[in-house]
Amino acid sequence: MEAKKNEKVQIEKESNLYFVLALCLVLALTYVALEWKTFHKIPVWEVAKLDKPDFLPNEEIPFIKPPEPPKPKVAPPIIEILPDISDEPESIIDIPEVDQTTEITPLESVVFEEPPVDGEIIFVNVEEKPIFPGCEDATDKYSCFQEMMQKHIWKNFNYPETAIDLGIKGKVHIKFTIQKDGSIGNIQMRGPHKLLEDEASRIIKKLPKMKPGKQRGTPVKVPFSIPINFVLQ
């Protein structure tokens, strides 16, 4: 009996095509297997949240004063009583008795010694005020002294050029002492800038020698203070 085959159902005719498709599928699966990547899951940590404060931002925080430290204990002083070892008898001052026959020394014959005058006496309180040269015959020597001081300052006044360029101005307070010999010493000053202080010191150092002030007829040191005003025009 002869076998009969249908040519349309012959598998051998498409075997090469099926082989190529199977090979491509295997290669695709192999590529996907080699390139496949896996990732570890990152754990999510819980973030702690701060509770809201019990007080408002503008609320005043009460200040608690710390306790005072304990005071150090001070030992009481030790008082030592020494025995009286002196054998000498106490001296007794004999005061003569006074009666109607006692002679009294007159007050005019008693000489009182005044303590020596030392230190400085301010210009207002000194008995004989210092005299500026040219005020010897003036009726009011104090007013003449002040007038001559003003004339001396205006005559020798010289505004420092550097102070003018920098716009420095102000009042310099000067204090100096008229010594026992009439010279000028112990110059002190306070002003807005050293340039003005130096100029004020230069003016005072040019003062002439004066007749010194006297207290109970003795020459004394007399301090005097005066301001010099530096004004820019």
- Residue at 57 is within a domain: no
Strands 170-178 and 184-190, sheet pairing: antiparallel
Number of structural domains, the chain?
Answer: 1
pLDDT value for 56: 47
Decide if 216 contacts 117 (C-beta within 8 A). yes
Say which CATH number the domain at 226 has: 3.30.2420
Dig out the tokens for 109 from the structure: 């014959």
pLDDT value for 143: 87
pLDDT value for 75: 65
- Residue at 102 is within a domain: no
Residues near 129 by Cβ (< 8 Å), separated by ≥ 6? 123, 141, 142, 145, 213, 222
Q: Nearest to residue 178, comparing CAs of 223, 219, 214?
A: 223
pLDDT tens for residues 7-16? 555 656 677 7
- Residue at 173 is within a domain: yes
- Residue at 132 is within a domain: no
- Residue at 156 is within a domain: yes
- Residue at 160 is within a domain: yes
pLDDT value for 77: 62
pLDDT value for 62: 60
Decide if 214 contacts 127 (C-beta within 8 A). yes
Instruction: List phi, psi (to 5°) of 230.
Output: -100, 115
- Residue at 19 is within a domain: no
CA distance linking residue 198 with residue 154, whole number of Å: 16
pLDDT value for 36: 78
pLDDT value for 8: 59
Query: In terms of residue numbers, what domain contains 200?
Result: 141-230
Instruction: List phi, psi (to 5°) of 143.
Output: -65, -40
The answer to whether the pTM exceeds 0.85 is no
E-strand stretches of the chain: 170-178, 184-190, 214-215, 218-219, 222-230
pLDDT tens for residues 48-67? 454 444 444 455 556 567 77
pLDDT value for 112: 52
- Residue at 114 is within a domain: no
Per-residue pLDDT of the chain (233 residues; tens, 9 = 90+): 555 555 555 656 677 777 888 888 888 888 888 887 776 666 555 544 544 444 444 555 565 677 788 877 766 666 566 565 555 555 555 656 666 676 666 666 656 555 555 667 777 778 888 888 888 888 888 888 888 988 898 889 888 888 888 888 888 899 998 888 888 888 888 888 888 899 999 999 999 998 888 888 888 888 988 888 888 87
